[in-house]
Amino acid sequence: MESSERAKPSKGERINSVARTDQAASSLVIEPYRRELLLHCYRLLGSLHDAEDAVQDAMLRAWRHFDTFTESDPGSLRRWLYTIATNTSLDMLKKRSPRTLPTVATPASDAAQSVAPRNSEVLWLEPFPDNWLAEAAEDPEARYSRHESISLAFLTALQVLPPRQRAILLLSDVLDWRAAEVAHLLEISVGAVNSALHRARVTLEKNYQSEQPEGMLFDGTNAAINTLLARYLKMWESDDVDGLVALLKEDATLSMPPVPSWYQGRDAIRRVLLAVLFPPGVQNRWRLSPTRANRQPAFVVYRIDEATGSYRAFALQVVTLAGVPRDGWQIASVTAFLDPDLAPSFGFPPQW
């Protein structure tokens, strides 16, 4: 009697046994991991669209080869899926240059000069919608929190690392995997993992300064910040350039990928706003819809189509905030991704 009880398969073993012989069942088993795999691939690739492609490919591989998965506990399944997704992303990175932002790629531009044309040859970092983030508990042992590790500042610095170092750092310092687990995933030694992780940490420290405590990752509950963002939206929609500039830190930055030009300081930003975004004789050009990206405040930006009078998606702005003791909350940077196709990814229509 006791031996028959010990031989009885667990619930996880029964589920996996069915899944290995039933393709529909295997899809149900692996589908709950899609969003966290998407975020992992996004951190590796720096691109929302590339991450979607990588996860789709990884899920397809997992579905096709589920009969080779022999473990029964959820932790093993998660590690197996991360192995497939990580290797899929690394394969993609062999064919792609690192992604970046204008503030990293070039020195600040002279506002007295013309804005440079768009540069589509450079691979630019892309924003990530907060509503796509997987709901997962923070791991207190991780070196970087979920919030920090999705910020544009962290992701930009992360792209400086070689792809394999990037993967090792993410698995170790964001997901808190043990060195032996990372070594098994990448089929290298534990010593090689520890050596690569040390090099990655040194490089990251040179290229990344945490936004804390000055910066803040937005959670939507701070009344003072909400008031600031409401004023920001109002200034855009009422063509109030002086009001917009007053909300900025003295050394604030404005960048507009894929335009390589970027600007620093209130005076430079004011000059560009007046010359390019709020030209003389044009009124009521902009409409903004609040959203969230990379755990920061964001706005889907619509520009008027003068031929029809309707507003069409134009850009996705990500706003970084800073707490200044004397002045309260101010805007430290605005990164405007000039890509109208981002609006649907953030749940907004292409036309207002």
Give 177-209 pLDDT, tens digit per residue.
999 999 999 999 999 999 999 999 999 999 997
Number of domains in the chain: 3
Give the pLDDT mean for 61-72: 79
Q: Are residues 232 and 299 in the same domain?
A: yes
Give the pLDDT mean for 133-155: 77
Angle at alpha carbon of residue 172, lines to 51 and 41, rounded to 5°:
0
- The model's pLDDT over 301-331, given as tens digits with 9 standing for 90+, comes to 999 998 898 999 999 999 999 986 566 899 9
- What pLDDT was estimated at residue 128? 96
Q: Are residues 304 and 196 in the same domain?
A: no
Asked whether residue 23 carries a pLDDT value surpassing 70, the answer given is no
Query: 115 lies in a domain?
Result: no
211 vs 280, more confident: 280
Output the domain CATH number for residue 202.
1.10.10.10
Give the pLDDT mean for 217-221: 66
Q: Are residues 35 and 147 in the same domain?
A: no
Give the whole-angstrom CA distance, residue 109 versus residue 256. 12
Beta bridge mates, 286: 303
Asked whether residue 65 carries a pLDDT value surpassing 90, the answer given is no
- What pLDDT was estimated at residue 107? 96
Q: Are residues 304 and 261 in the same domain?
A: yes
Question: Distances in Å between the alpha carbon of 339 and those of 159, 253, 271, 335?
Answer: 21, 19, 23, 12
The answer to whether 37 and 55 are in contact (CB under 8 A) is yes
Query: 327 lies in a domain?
Result: yes
- What pLDDT was estimated at residue 186? 95
Give the whole-angstrom CA distance, residue 165 versus residue 170. 9
Asked whether residue 76 carries a pLDDT value surpassing 90, the answer given is no
Asked whether residue 13 carries a pLDDT value surpassing 70, the answer given is no
Q: Are residues 277 and 192 in the same domain?
A: no
Q: Are residues 258 and 301 in the same domain?
A: yes
Q: Are residues 288 and 302 in the same domain?
A: yes
* Domain boundary, last residue among 96, 119, 138: 96
Query: 20 lies in a domain?
Result: yes
Q: Are residues 242 and 335 in the same domain?
A: yes
Give the pLDDT mean for 214-237: 83
pTM: 0.87
* Domain boundary, last residue among 212, 235, 253: 212
The answer to whether 291 and 300 are in contact (CB under 8 A) is yes
Query: What is the domain range of residue 89?
Result: 9-96
* Domain boundary, last residue among 46, 76, 96: 96
Query: 352 lies in a domain?
Result: no
Q: Are residues 198 and 295 in the same domain?
A: no
Q: Are residues 229 and 313 in the same domain?
A: yes
Query: 143 lies in a domain?
Result: yes
**Of 124, 134, 117, nearest to 97 (Cα)?**
124
Q: Are residues 225 and 309 in the same domain?
A: yes
- Please give the mean pLDDT across all residues of the chain: 88
Query: 73 lies in a domain?
Result: yes
Give the whole-angstrom CA distance, residue 29 versus residue 321. 40
Angle formed by the axes of helices 179-186 and 74-93, nearest 10°? 60
Output the domain CATH number for residue 338.
3.10.450.50
133 vs 216, more confident: 133
- What pLDDT was estimated at residue 15? 42
Output the domain CATH number for residue 42.
1.10.1740.10
Query: 102 lies in a domain?
Result: no
- The model's pLDDT over 222-231, given as tens digits with 9 standing for 90+, comes to 889 999 999 9
Q: Are residues 206 and 226 in the same domain?
A: no
Query: 225 lies in a domain?
Result: yes
Give the pLDDT mean for 114-123: 94
